[in-house]
Amino acid sequence: MRARTHTITAPSVDVIAECVHAAVQAPSIHNTQPWRFEAHGRDIDVYADRSRQLSVLDPSGRQLLMSVGAAVFNLRLALFVHGRMPVQRLLPDPARPDLVARVSAGPTTVAASTAQILAAAIPHRHTNRFPFQPAAIPWPVLDELIGAATAEGATLNHAEPVVRDAILAVTRTADDRFRARTDYQAELAAWTSTAPDRRDGVPADVCGPTDLAYRLPLREFCPPVHQATFERHPALMILATRGDTPYHWLRAGEALQRVLLTATARRLDASPLNQALEIPGLRRLVTDQSAGRYAQTILRMGYGGPVPATPRRPLAEVLQTGGSPP
């Protein structure tokens, strides 16, 4: 009797396009969208696009890789809800460090309901830089967010009031330092988009107001047009990983996206507040190396109003299909 073999088929071109479309909805530093995808057979290779790296803000490429990690998480999720078990390998080829992930379509499966909920949240997640309501985040929701980070190998800590105030103080220091630098301002201006047909960068309608009390130093993408009163006691969450290598940065991005989608599914909004992590001396203050925890992002979370979506580059610019395996 001949043994029956099960061949795992390649997803259709349409399924690949839908999965990559989901991937590119991920957040990225300054909406740089620093990614590229190549599909061949069952594999989708994800590349970091170094031409989109922020040389002033992100010379190590840490936040670039976090952005790509967030896209890889969406890609895995989309494959899963399309009925294929995603199998991911991060940094699969040491000779090609910009090939940051290979996500393969594994055997057919039925996605768990949590995955369905997270995938449904992808188009509704937007960075919200507007004031939030004063309402506290309920404990069960905080627990879910912490669970989301843990599931991707990271930790998430809700900053207690004294830590929160210290973080806000160092973030203000970092923000003042950056704003005094012309190279930072030039880089920010280059990624702040005013042209209506531009498909990357941060558009003016999502910039948000400045805090009347200058307590909450959100990154000022656009020249300040108006001021507003923000929540007095912002909820800050620190996402950290147990190492600080390119691998950990990718995992941090996956964890970030899982946390953000979990938040969106609970109608919770978020905006990163990362200036303090972009100055090594200040990042060390937020990092707990003795516990092996490296701060990767600080999130302000709360309940806000609707915000518009930011643009994305067309798929044709970032996806190549049908090539032979490298």
Ligand X SMILES: Cc1cc2nc3c(=O)[nH]c(=O)nc-3n(C[C@H](O)[C@H](O)[C@H](O)COP(=O)(O)O)c2cc1C
Question: Which residues are at the interface with ligand X (CB under 6 A)?
Answer: 27-31, 63, 66-67, 70, 126-127, 129, 202, 218-219, 271-274, 310
Core vs surface per residue 197-212: b (16+ CB within 10 A) or e: eeebbbbeebbbbbbe
What is the smallest separation between the CB atom of 275 and ligand X, expressed in angstroms? 6
What is the smallest separation between the CB atom of 281 and ligand X, expressed in angstroms? 18
In angstroms, rounded to a whole number, what is the distance separating the alpha carbons of residues 312 and 201?
Answer: 9
What is the smallest separation between the CB atom of 268 and ligand X, expressed in angstroms? 14
Q: Which is nearer to ligand X, 235 or 273 (CB)?
A: 273
Q: Which is nearer to ligand X, 29 or 72 (CB)?
A: 29
Beta strand pairing status for 269-272 and 294-302?
A: antiparallel
The residue at minimum Cβ distance from ligand X is 27
Count of C-beta atoms within a 10 Å radius of residue 72:
29
Q: Which is nearer to ligand X, 43 or 175 (CB)?
A: 175
- Nearest one of 191, 188, 187, 174 to 277, comparing CA atoms: 174
Contact criterion met (CB below 8 Å) for 193 and 308: no
CA distances from 255 to 40, 65, 245, 278, 282 (A): 26, 12, 15, 19, 23
What end-to-end distance do the CA atoms of the chain give, in Å? 37
What is the smallest separation between the CB atom of 162 and ligand X, expressed in angstroms? 22
What is the smallest separation between the CB atom of 260 and ligand X, expressed in angstroms? 8
Retrieve residue 173's tokens: 């220091």
What is the smallest separation between the CB atom of 52 and ligand X, expressed in angstroms? 12
What is the smallest separation between the CB atom of 70 and ligand X, expressed in angstroms? 5
Retrieve residue 240's tokens: 């950290």
Length in residues, the chain: 326
Contact criterion met (CB below 8 Å) for 252 and 316: no
Q: Which is nearer to ligand X, 24 or 103 (CB)?
A: 24
What is the smallest separation between the CB atom of 306 and ligand X, expressed in angstroms? 12
Q: Which is nearer to ligand X, 243 or 323 (CB)?
A: 243
- Nearest one of 46, 82, 239 to 149, comparing CA atoms: 239
Q: Which is nearer to ligand X, 12 or 194 (CB)?
A: 194
Integer-rounded Cα radius of gyration of the chain: 20
Q: What crossing angle do the helices spanning 13-23 and 62-81 adopt, rounded to 10°?
A: 140
Q: Which is nearer to ligand X, 104 or 271 (CB)?
A: 271
Q: Which is nearer to ligand X, 63 or 241 (CB)?
A: 63
